[in-house]
Amino acid sequence: MYFIENFKGFSTSEIDLFQPLTVLIGANGSGKSNLIEAIELLGFLAQGGLLYEVTDINKEGKQEIRGGLQNCPRYGHSFFTLGVSSKIIFQEKEYSFTYRLSIAKEPLRIIDESLYLNDTLYFEVVPKKSDIHHIKIRYHNFSNLEKSYKSSTESSATQSFLSQYKNLAVKNRKFKESSEIISLIIKHLQNSFTFDPNPKLMRAYERIGNMILAKNGSNLSAVLYGLSQGTQEQQQSLKRILNWIQQVPNECYEDFQFVTVSELNDVLFALREVETHRLSDARLLSDGTLRCLAILTALETIPEHSRLIVEEFDNGVHPSRVDILLKATQDCIERRKLNVLITTHNPATLNALKSSQLEGVVNCVYQAKEQATTLVPLSELSYYFEFTDHAKLGDLVTRSFLEKYLATNFAEDRKKEALEWLNHL
């Protein structure tokens, strides 16, 4: 469970990203992108990213957030908090952990950080002994002496202590075991891959050997070529990608082909049409086809048990084809044990969701009375079963039914009227 406090438009919200498929919906400006930025930011800082490496969009920072970190605290607040509660497996045993990180904007610094493993406090900030440059950390040293089970150290206020634990928490009787646990937690937070495919960047030759798909999908040609030249398992992945993409465009493709420039070690992928045997290289394919290819490739190539986040999942895909992309996504989720978060505005996508997938739908809603964004799982609505029995989700969203239902001034009698309306659909 990820939780967010006073981050941009959010007051206090949480979302479970450890279920197979999460579908985030909501009106424009409701905060869907803010949620994704929060998840990305927590992963970046947990693995050792520095606060000053986080910049506004197009400022060439290692991590980019709209408005930069200084504009992340909710209006009227001086700091924000991000955190996660989840589980890891260590030495064949399951452990629950809760990690929290708070960041102030003036001056920009970490002001609070803590980690609990089961009921054991691994470390926490001592606020009264911290300043704008350093934070005082108290950590568990697993001493047998009850009165001195905590040691202390100083850490930079611009980098998470979680990422520095191995170097700073050295007065520890269980140092090796604790360090391995910390590494597992960091890896757990790193296993989120946010994918924002940009078709315009996929139409150029790419250097052969670049096998990790970029966030924007720019090296799609190199990754597909690597699959074609790889292990039997990787070649099977390419065949599955081809099988799905054959069902998306009007043209029927029979195979992947690759145009290489040996002198430069570059490659550009192409698809061969069935009837004419003509090659359509990446420069000729539609934006929708390229986006689908990139998403399918991401699903097939990220590590198993990872989390994939795709904003505007179905952008550029014809409404009659979105169910194909959903089926491919579900296949990869089940086969590769992935957790996938997608955002969408598309009624066709929402109408194509199976009843089991509806349980993963979360509505991002701005509450005018509280002047804050909140996350509302569809399954927690009072009349959830009545809604889904009488109308498809896409139709409800198109008619602004959910938006009106979730309004704070939507009285009970109006809800009854809405249910009567549903009964007549």
For residue 413, pLDDT over 70 is answered with no
Same domain, 74 and 164: yes
Same domain, 178 and 45: yes
| pLDDT tens-digit series, residues 43-72 | 999 999 999 999 998 888 899 999 999 999
Amino acid at 417: E
Give the domain range for residue 217.
198-302
Measure the CA–CA gap between 163 and 183, rounded to whole angstroms: 9
For residue 411, pLDDT over 60 is answered with no
Measure the CA–CA gap between 420 and 34, rounded to whole angstroms: 36
Domain end residue (candidates: 302, 319, 344): 302
Same domain, 113 and 131: yes
The closest of 275, 244, 242, 240 to 257, measured between CA atoms, is 242
In a domain, 293, yes or no: yes
| SS3 category, 185 | helix
For residue 11, pLDDT over 70 is answered with yes
Residue 149's pLDDT is: 60
- Phi-psi map region of 265: left, alpha, beta (phi>0 left; psi -120 to 50 alpha): left
Tokens describing residue 87: 């589980």
DSSP structure string for 48-59? T--GGGEESTTS
| SS3 category, 26 | coil
> Which residues, 6 or more positions from 93, have their beta carbon under 8 angstroms from its beta carbon?
none
Domain count, the chain: 2
| pLDDT tens-digit series, residues 232-247 | 999 999 999 999 999 8
Displacement of CA 101 from its chain's centroid (Å): 18
Same domain, 162 and 287: no
Domain end residue (candidates: 302, 317, 351): 302
Domain end residue (candidates: 165, 191, 217): 191
Q: Which of 191-195, 349-353, 392-396, 411-415 is the least confident region? A: 411-415
Could you tell me which residues are beta bridge partners of residue 377?
362
Measure the CA–CA gap between 159 and 168, rounded to whole angstroms: 13
Percent of residues, the chain, with pLDDT higher than 90: 62
H-type helices in 192-246, by residue range? Answer: 220-229, 232-245
Measure the CA–CA gap between 184 and 173, rounded to whole angstroms: 19
| pLDDT tens-digit series, residues 250-306 | 778 889 999 999 888 999 999 998 888 899 999 999 999 999 999 999 999 999 999
Same domain, 100 and 211: no
Could you tell me which residues are beta bridge partners of residue 93?
90
